[in-house]
């Protein structure tokens, strides 16, 4: 154990917009390289380390993770401190189990998660290697963080904590989990850890481990964090495969939703297409009535004629009262032929055009769905 490690944890304080504050300690490797990504450990202390001095949260437990050659030296560690009268999970600790559906996420845990998020954005963190661990009250907080924010973490190590075995097992069955408890713990009975392990195993989960120290009471944290196998195991876990599978499921779900929407649109298009064809069929039955031939004008009378002489032009004008329709010639005007019936576009041709356009749209849609689904 490196007793001088405390000096390397920076003291920081988170301040919310409404003035709410939470102190936290931040460890960054001595040879931190901006071009490299580092695993991160999110540590939640127990009830005895609550306060605002920003020191007590490091007094026990996590310090034992540091030994010569430990991977902890090459990681980022975030250790927030909960206020004296608050808890990471607001429940009675005496039973070791509780119903999570009846418990809301506390502001303390929400704030701690906000601090974690800010550190992840500020520092070069390997987001596939973020781990959560805690002791006693922090063990409850570890289970709660995994249940509510499991997608953030690659693994969890709750030490002498409590949980909701039914709900948490479903949420955590795919997340590597190593629990620790004392068989004689009377502060937080081991029943929660035992049931959690049994429930995950019964559901086919093979990433869960449980260590119970025979005859030991509540204070097992030094034993747990001194377990080098556990520390090596934790830093070896990665969220990568689980994340890829989750992203693939999300894409498939999105593709299915898009396909469903296209199906509805296709039905609507079919209805519209059917309506258009139906209208075209109706329009093809419409004919225009032929125009009636224009009647020939009557021949002019002798009194209405104007005589034109070749050598001497004499214009005779008949009285105005006698003029009915002035004309320039007596030629008969031929009647206009009836206009042929106009034909509407054939329904078969319209349907073929619609089918071709629909087929093209469907083909393009299939290509989009394939890209979304990663096929």
- 153-205 pLDDT tens trace: 999 999 999 999 999 998 888 999 999 999 999 999 999 999 999 999 999 99
User: Please, what is the average pLDDT of the chain?
Assistant: 81
Q: Average pLDDT of 28-55?
A: 96
Name every residue whose Cβ is closer than 8 Å to that of residue 92 and which is 6 or more positions away in sequence: 98
pTM exceeding the 0.85 threshold for the entire prediction: no
To 5 degrees, how large is the angle CA 211–CA 41–CA 8?
120
| Most confident among 28-42, 255-269, 281-295 (mean pLDDT) | 28-42
Is pLDDT above 50 for 68? yes
Q: With beta carbons less than 8 A apart as the criterion, state whether 205 and 235 touch.
A: no
The percentage of the chain sitting over the pLDDT mark of 90, rounded to a whole number, equals: 58
The tokens describing 350, both together, are 């319209």
Is pLDDT above 70 for 366? no
All structural domains of the chain: 3-238 (3.40.50.1820), 243-294+338-375 (no CATH)
Distance in angstroms (rounded) separating the CA atoms of residues 154 and 261: 35
Pairing of β 21-27 and β 76-80: antiparallel
> Higher pLDDT residue, 27 or 271?
27
- 306-353 pLDDT tens trace: 443 443 443 444 444 444 444 444 445 455 555 555 455 555 665 666
Can you give the chain as a three-state secondary structure string?
CCHHHHHHEEEEEEECCCCCEEEEEEECCCCCCCCCCEEEEEEECCHHHCCCCCCHHHCCCHHHHCCCCCHHHHCEEEEECCCCCCCCCCCCCCCCECCHHHCCCCHHHHHHHHHHHHHHHHCCEEEEEEEEEEECHHHHHHHHHHHHHHHHCCEEEEECCCECHHHHHHHHCCCCEEEEEECCCCCCCCHHHHHHHHHHHHCCCCCEEEEEECCCCCCCHHHHHCCHHHHHHHHHCCCHHHHHHHHHHHHHHHHHHHHHHHHHHHHHHHHHHHHHHHHHHHHHCCCCCCCCCCCCCCCCCHHHCCCCCCCCCCCCCCCHHHCCCCCCCCCCCCCCCCCCCCCCCCHHHHHHHHHHHHHHHHHHHHHHHHHHHCC
> Higher pLDDT residue, 1 or 83?
83
Distance in angstroms (rounded) separating the CA atoms of residues 59 and 48: 10
How much is the pLDDT for 354?
A: 63
Is pLDDT above 70 for 44? yes
pLDDT category at 249 given cuts 50, 70, 90 is confident
- Phi and psi, residue 130, nearest 5°: -110, 125
- Minimum mean pLDDT range among 6-15, 107-116, 301-310: 301-310
Q: Average pLDDT of 19-27?
A: 97
- Minimum mean pLDDT range among 9-18, 38-47, 297-306: 297-306
- 77-96 pLDDT tens trace: 999 999 999 999 999 888 99
Q: With beta carbons less than 8 A apart as the criterion, state whether 196 and 160 touch.
A: no
């Amino acid at each position: 154990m490196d007793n001088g490690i405390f000096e390397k944890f920076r003291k920081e304080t988170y301040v919310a917009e409404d003035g709410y504050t939470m102190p936290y300690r931040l460890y960054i490797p001595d040879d931190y390289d901006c071009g490299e990504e580092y695993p991160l450990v999110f540590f939640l202390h127990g009830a005895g380390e609550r306060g605002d001095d920003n020191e007590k949260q490091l007094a026990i437990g996590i310090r034992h993770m540091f030994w010569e050659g430990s991977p902890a030296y090459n990681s980022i560690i975030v250790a927030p401190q909960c206020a004296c009268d608050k808890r990471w999970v607001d429940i009675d600790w005496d039973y070791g189990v509780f119903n999570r559906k009846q418990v809301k996420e506390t502001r303390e845990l929400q704030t701690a998660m906000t601090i974690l998020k800010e550190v992840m954005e500020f520092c070069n963190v390997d987001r596939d290697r973020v781990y959560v661990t805690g002791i006693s009250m922090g063990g409850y907080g570890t289970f709660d963080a995994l249940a509510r924010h499991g997608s953030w973490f690659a693994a969890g190590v709750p030490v002498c904590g409590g949980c909701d075995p039914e709900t948490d097992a479903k949420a955590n069955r795919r997340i590597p989990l190593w629990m620790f408890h004392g068989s004689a713990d009377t502060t937080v009975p081991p029943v929660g850890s035992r049931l959690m392990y049994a429930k995950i195993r019964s559901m086919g989960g093979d990433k869960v481990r449980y260590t119970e120290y025979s005859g030991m009471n509540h204070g097992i944290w030094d034993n747990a964090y001194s377990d080098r196998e556990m520390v090596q195991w934790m830093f070896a876990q990665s969220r990568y495969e689980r994340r890829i599978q989750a992203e693939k499921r999300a894409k498939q779900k999105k593709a299915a939703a898009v396909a469903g929407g296209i199906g509805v649109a296709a039905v609507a298009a079919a209805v519209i297409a059917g309506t258009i064809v139906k209208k075209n069929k109706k329009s093809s039955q419409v004919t225009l009535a032929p125009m009636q031939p224009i009647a020939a004008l009557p021949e002019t009378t002798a009194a209405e004629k104007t005589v034109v002489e070749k050598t001497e032009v004499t214009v005779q004008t008949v009285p105005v009262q006698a003029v009915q329709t002035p004309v320039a010639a007596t030629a008969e005007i031929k009647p206009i032929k009836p206009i042929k019936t106009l034909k509407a576009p054939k329904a078969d041709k319209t349907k073929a055009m619609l089918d071709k356009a629909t087929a093209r749209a469907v083909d393009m849609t299939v290509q989009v769905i394939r890209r979304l689904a990663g096929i």
